[in-house]
Amino acid sequence: MTKSETVKFAHPATTPRAAAIAGILFAILFITSIALIRLSMPSDLADMEAWTDATRGRVSMALGLMPFAGLAFLWFVGVARDRLGTFEDRFFATVFLGSGLLFLAMTFCAVATAAGMLAAYQLGEGQVMTKEVYLFGRSIISQMFNTYGLRMAAVFMFSLSTLWLRTGVMPRILSYLTYAVVVVMLVSISQNLWMVLIFPAWVLIISVYILILNLRREPSRTTDGMTAKSTAA
């Protein structure tokens, strides 16, 4: 086989169209998990005895969904980068990728801490999970998720929308709306716990838009390497 014939067989790897569904899956799992946790939380979070077996069971179910939501989010990051293609700016792409991974890391740390507290309570109840330990763990979870994780999500949105403006791969209106949502998240995220759902809702909208674009894309009409004829001797 000649060198030119070998090149005919090579082709660039492309992101599957169905990969855009990952963002939709992340949004559904994340929203479900957060909703279960928020609806299970007692009015007085400082009162450890206010938790019941039913509410702890729902929280345990919610925490079990988070790892799958995290895996789907990684796929969404890949889809977003694929959308940028060769126009990706290295500076903002680094901030975009780093903030996305930090959001995921902080979320996983908060979930793991909560799961550990639940396991400790089930094993030893009051002997292990004292009020002081409970308050300490709750503060750590709040700081990791609300203070650090969600602000990394805001940076993720800001940097990605800036890349969209620079490259023009997405409508400018989406970038401007994203900037507005980022401001709302940074200002209101600590005042209303339900504001957490803004981020997965944003991911859902972007994923649906990318999926629609992928479905409309014309299939490649180029011949494959097996049928290509080489003119080389």
Q: What is the mean pLDDT of residues 87-97?
A: 74
Name the average pLDDT for the chain.
79
For residue 122, being part of any structural domain is answered with: yes
For residue 127, being part of any structural domain is answered with: yes
pLDDT of residue 85: 65
Of 21, 39, 64, 35, the residue nearest 203 (C-alpha): 21
Residue of 155 and 82 predicted with greater confidence: 155
Q: What is the pLDDT of residues 24-67, one digit of tens each?
A: 999 999 999 999 988 888 877 777 777 888 888 899 999 999 99
For residue 47, being part of any structural domain is answered with: yes
Q: Token pair for residue 214?
A: 């992928």
Q: What is the mean pLDDT of residues 212-223?
A: 59
| pTM as predicted | 0.80
For residue 6, being part of any structural domain is answered with: no
47 phi and psi angles, rounded to 5 deg = -90, 105
For residue 30, being part of any structural domain is answered with: yes
pLDDT of residue 19: 63
DSSP-assigned letter for residue 168? -
SS3 call for 86: helix
As a whole-number percent, the residues of the chain with pLDDT over 70 amount to 78
Provide the pLDDT confidence category of residue 122 given band limits of 50, 70 and 90: confident
Q: How many independent structural domains does the chain possess?
A: 1
For residue 57, being part of any structural domain is answered with: yes
For residue 10, being part of any structural domain is answered with: no
For residue 170, being part of any structural domain is answered with: yes
- Burial label for 46, CB within 10 Å (0-12, 13-18, 19+), is exposed
As a whole-number percent, the residues of the chain with pLDDT over 90 amount to 27
Q: Which domain holds residue 124?
A: 18-215
Of 206, 186, 232, 192, the residue nearest 23 (C-alpha): 206
The number of angstroms, rounded, from the C-alpha of 38 to the middle of its chain's C-alpha atoms is: 19
Q: Token pair for residue 99?
A: 């903030």
CA atoms within 13 A on the CB side of 94: 2
Q: Where does residue 168 fall: left (phi above 0), alpha (psi -120 to 50 degrees), or beta otherwise?
A: left
